[in-house]
Amino acid sequence: MALNMNSVLGIIPARGGSKRLPHKNILPLAGNPLISYTINAGLYSHYIDELMVSTDDNEIARISVNFGAKVPFIRPPDLAQDDTSTFAVVQHVIDYYKNEEGKLFEYIVLLQPTSPLRDGVDIDNAMSLMQANKADAVISVSQPDHTPLWCNTLPEDLSMEGFLRDDVKFKRSQELDRYYRLNGAIYICKTSRLLEEKTFFLKNRIYAHIMKQEKSIDIDTMLDLMLCEILLSERMSANVS
């Protein structure tokens, strides 16, 4: 089968199982299923040529299709386990398009459904950064709430001797080095490099796309969901005004 070279494939991985928050990917958030926000962001992007959801769950598949994403297959159970790697899921998608539809996309954009505050502008800005730097990968980050230099492990007796380094102890937060964390919202990689290194974290030609903290919440607990509800309500009120 001759391969049809396409540019950018957006993949939303959304398995049905979630121990901490059951059915997390389709929990209601400001009146819509959680996954719908990521679908809308992907559809809004000017760079993504095809947006699909990889899921093992029929209800997630139905909702995803209703909101405009493609669900060309139901993910097999062995690729929907707690220990299934993200790369294994992505490789399965790439293999499907290559073998079943004769499509080979030059770039993969991975969008976690647990980042509902990331929007299409964020995706396009990350893609623009990629083009400007002639990069092979771009991953989104944001500043943490507090510097990790104020963090450490604790022994069993909870002693705080040596908890802070001497060069940190007497400095104000604004005097400390600026740190960034992965926020889980956007992963972009050239397909050939992704398959070669089996990770989005390439050895070189990789850059960070910095996002605002208020757009970087990753839904893992009910508190995260409640905070997103507040931020989305404020965003909707601002748009109405």
For residues 24 and 124, the answer to whether their CB atoms sit within 8 Å is no
Average pLDDT over residues 100-108: 95
Q: Considering the domain 4-141+182-240, what is its CATH architecture?
A: Alpha-Beta Complex (3.90)
120: number of CA atoms within 13 Å, CB side?
12
Average pLDDT over residues 215-237: 89
Question: Which one has a higher pLDDT value, 169 or 239?
Answer: 169
Confidence check: pLDDT of 3 > 60 = no
pLDDT tens track for 152-175? 999 999 999 999 988 888 887 778
Confidence check: pLDDT of 205 > 60 = yes
pLDDT band at 1 (very low <50, low <70, confident <90, very high): very low
Average pLDDT over residues 90-94: 98
Confidence check: pLDDT of 202 > 70 = yes
pLDDT of residue 240: 56
Confidence check: pLDDT of 106 > 50 = yes
pLDDT of residue 234: 81
Lookup: tokens for 236:
């909707």
pLDDT of residue 5: 53
CA 71, 77, 83, 85 torsion-angle sign: negative
Total-model pTM: 0.92
pLDDT tens track for 59-84? 999 999 999 999 999 999 999 988 89
pLDDT of residue 4: 57
Domain ranges across the chain: 4-141+182-240
CA 22 from chain center: how many Å?
Answer: 19
List beta partners, residue 140.
209
Count Cβ atoms below 10 Å from residue 239 Cβ, excluding itself. Answer: 7
Distance CA 206, CA 240 (A): 38
